[in-house]
Structure 1
């Protein structure tokens, strides 16, 4: 069995445990810190929106030996100031030159100048002009879809579980989105329609992971008020430990292909367009796995502990433990100091013969008498005197 599998079995049996719920203040502090950094990065840097959102033109050139930095310089010179230029190498050997804030009236002149600077025919460069209205339409639909998704999530969790779990899941989703968008702002990756699809995808994954954890929590805490051994927070922590390895395995399996898209496809092979969706998925999946364990369940435990039922249960559990602790201390004192005040080590040793005689008296049958020397008398008079040695 693998080491992770062994740890998983020990976690499930309760032999080892990680105190997720008890140390929730540390997890909250870490999440708040990361969220603040993400918000500051978003406020300072903003988002690098693609031409689908800001409007612009994309020029695709045939195969060329011009390097990306050289093409970047020529495109900036052709477009003039006030335009953002992004150049990417295509698999065919050509270049994809994206210039923001160009419309149908200015794109042809930029195409002519760009072709002259690069030593190409103007008609060999394929232009594609995108207006900002299309990006605005995508944004509106994405916001509408996100709002509908959030409402359905809250309704479903409130019906299937309870409103506290719905609130915790909503906080976890907002946590994941904020961190993902903040990373995009800090890194400076382009936000494209693929990024929007990636954000919607990670919401579904984060919700799935949270529901799995909540389902285990619901089963573990079923009938909790009928016992006096554990509080709600303790059972919630046990449930988290039991589903921990499963959550880790699910996250790792999901992150492996996404990591291949991001680091191999986008980084090593230079397929920059893959970064749009791969970064959103990678950051979102990581944040979702973290929030379902370290954020969602501790929030539920904190809210449940404030209810009258769980407050009364906690008092009963603590009172029972106090009685057990006091009883254990009393038993320990009785063992160390006997009630008659005599130390067992100082007690006089009992003569073995006297003890044997006493045992014999207590164990003899009725009607038998003892003769001289304490020997029992019987019709056969067996055992009188000392043994003579060998039997003849």
Structure 2
């Protein structure tokens, strides 16, 4: 909880751009798995795209194997048919290849007899789609997707710049491949609902990417004269500034989609919702990932060789080197002042801060020199080694006082 609190208070800084090679590897592995699945497994196309007939009728205690036996007896290739048992409604849903009107009526009668369906015209729902109509829908969907991508490319190139448009398109293709690859891995049918969901999530991915790119443009607007941070650092700051917004938007969008997918389709058995919900769920999650971890780091790599970006990086490097030299000089001056302060406070103990007995502070050298000059002056005066009594000269004897009235002594 503390990490989430720091994240939502914008105190959690992530190095998206500095670790972009890690994200490239993750995206590369994910894209490789999805592409291999689409090549090897392929897609389970719905009846709208490949054509065919769909029969839905009461199960009445029957099994899937019994349904396949009925299809084989009616001359329909059971291996190319899809039989699903709908648990919530206690019905079977059978999708077969394209059938003629006679083959459709024969299969309907056989199913009604085998599973004791009363009043087949009302209790057996039959819908047929021709293969030409399915191919037409497929071509229209592909053309619509291409037109959508071209228009988005033009808009981003005019609104921002062409390199941002390239990065955004790469993120869109990333999301498209991941979504369709998950569809191939899971085995869900590709229906018109799937195409609608894919177009929806591509728009969502674009929205998130455009929000990030707009903040990147604001952070790098004055880079011709700036020297505070490099282009990569300004871009990474833009990602962190929009991180909470992106996560909140994605979370709010994922909650109802997850309800459709796991509750509606999973628990309640609403099979018509799962095609729409799966594409939206995977697409929204992939769009959030690509906006943060793929599109913006790719933009940094696309712009790193521009002259303005290189000049900005060089200015930032010089400014930081100058600040580092100033800091070292200030630290050196502070250290010198501290040493002189300690010497002035305790001259007698100046040697206590120096390791080794033979190392003296400058004050000790001055004292020794002064003592040597005093000794030399004394020696020059001739007083070195002479007792103090002799240095004052001979002392006169005290005069004896004469006695009054005394006799002279004869010699």
Change (3 A) 1:231 1:296: same
User: 1:31 is matched with which residue: 27, 33, 42?
Assistant: 27
* Alignment check: 8 A CA contact 2:54 2:93 kept: yes
Point out the structure with max Rg over C-alpha.
Answer: 2
* Alignment check: 8 A CA contact 1:157 1:166 kept: yes
CA–CA separation in structure 1 for the residues paired with 2:235 and 2:86:
51
Change (3 A) 1:95 1:163: same
Matching residue of 2:235: 236
Deviations 1:154-192 (A, max 9, x none): 111111111111001100000000001111111111111
Matching residue of 1:184: 183
SS of 2:290's equivalent in the other structure is: helix
Matching residue of 1:152: 151
CA–CA separation in structure 2 for the residues paired with 1:68 and 1:307:
67
1:7 pairs with 2:7 = yes
CA–CA separation in structure 1 for the residues paired with 2:82 and 2:140:
27
Q: What is the 5 A alignment of 1:1-392? A: 4=4, 7-9=7-9, 11=10, 15-61=11-57, 63-66=58-61, 69=64, 72-73=67-68, 77-78=72-73, 79-89=76-86, 93-121=90-118, 122-123=120-121, 124-337=123-336, 344-349=341-346
Change (3 A) 1:202 1:65: same
* Alignment check: 8 A CA contact 2:62 2:115 kept: no
Deviations 1:296-341 (A, max 9, x none): 11111222221101101101101111121122223223333459xx
Aligned length: 344
Deviation at 1:213, TM superposition (A): 1.2
- TM-score with structure 1 setting the length: 0.81
Change (3 A) 1:55 1:311: same
Change (3 A) 1:200 1:25: same
Change (3 A) 1:199 1:22: same
Change (3 A) 1:27 1:67: farther
* Alignment check: 8 A CA contact 2:81 2:94 kept: no
* Alignment check: 8 A CA contact 1:104 1:129 kept: no
> Which stretch of structure 1 is more off in the superposition, 299-308 or 168-177?
299-308
Deviation at 1:92, TM superposition (A): 5.6
Deviations 1:262-310 (A, max 9, x none): 1111111112221111111110111001111111111112222211011
* Alignment check: 8 A CA contact 1:71 1:87 kept: no
The runs of 5 or more residues in structure 2 that have no matched partner are 348-411
Change (3 A) 1:56 1:75: farther
* Alignment check: 8 A CA contact 1:85 1:100 kept: no
Deviation at 1:221, TM superposition (A): 1.6
CA–CA separation in structure 1 for the residues paired with 2:319 and 2:67:
74
CA–CA separation in structure 2 for the residues paired with 1:178 and 1:7:
30
CA–CA separation in structure 1 for the residues paired with 2:69 and 2:277:
29
* Alignment check: 8 A CA contact 1:41 1:186 kept: yes
SS of 1:225's equivalent in the other structure is: coil
The runs of 5 or more residues in structure 1 that have no matched partner are 351-392
Query: How big is the alpha-carbon RMSD for the aligned residues of Structure 1 and Structure 2?
Result: 2.5
* Alignment check: 8 A CA contact 2:54 2:126 kept: yes
CA–CA separation in structure 2 for the residues paired with 1:34 and 1:76:
39
Change (3 A) 1:285 1:72: farther
Deviations 1:46-67 (A, max 9, x none): 0011111122111122x55336
- TM-score with structure 2 setting the length: 0.77
> Which stretch of structure 1 is more off in the superposition, 67-76 or 134-143?
67-76
* Alignment check: 8 A CA contact 1:72 1:87 kept: no
Change (3 A) 1:333 1:114: same
* Alignment check: 8 A CA contact 1:103 1:131 kept: no
CA–CA separation in structure 1 for the residues paired with 2:332 and 2:62:
85
* Alignment check: 8 A CA contact 1:68 1:87 kept: no
